[in-house]
Chain A
């Protein structure tokens, strides 16, 4: 549910919604949602001073109801 909700939120605010991919990962450091977007949309998803990224984390935190879920916005230039 969480990755679907995050995907919906991100798709709503980007230009290239077909390029939005959210992956759920269970790591040693807990749950993580990795967000990938079109490079042109990266600025939008992060926002001025990280404001939008922070809003996404806040809402995901509320939906996760207590579970600690990290949200990682992947800069695709850095990852293969």
Chain B
């Protein structure tokens, strides 16, 4: 299995023009998605072993979301993922993501931007942020005034910027990390 991935890597670097594409199981996969698939595999192994050692329930889902590998620890049939792996304000989740990215980087030699989710925490937070953004956009339209939101992480601000844009308004970030926040701008 690992050999296949290594071959794909070499093909990516264009060193081996005559290499046959491995058994055409994913004909459409581009260079970048093979790289992302590999990131996901390494991350899944790393997390699976951690769950085993700690004797915690949970399955690992691997996917590709745009230009990032997306890995999720989800509830399994045996039992739920312990919520302490999310932690207060997702603090443990962020730490796990950081370590998982480093583990991927140690194997591939390249920085990883993979996203980790645990028990749907990020997905739920994304929905919440989208709602906050829509409310702020509506308020900016109604009042014609700038709407300053709570401080958020870079990832959260990105979600808000995108949602504000979808509502037809613009936004910008102000303040200094870790208290940087989004300001929704009324139409000029």
Contact = CB atoms under 8 A, between A and B. Distances in A.
Interface SS majority for chain B: helix
A54 B95 contact: yes
Query: Contact size class for A?
Result: 20 to 34
A44 interface: yes
Contacts of B85: 62
Interface string B103-115: 1011000000000
Contacts of A61: 92
B55 A14 contact: no
B53 A55 contact: no
29 contacts: A1-B53, A1-B55, A4-B53, A5-B50, A5-B53, A5-B54, A8-B50, A9-B50, A9-B99, A12-B103, A13-B105, A13-B106, A44-B102, A47-B102, A51-B98, A54-B95, A55-B94, A55-B98, A56-B95, A56-B99, A58-B92, A58-B95, A59-B92, A61-B92, A62-B85, A62-B87, A62-B95, A63-B54, A65-B84
Interface in B32-91: 46, 49-50, 53-55, 84-85, 87, 91
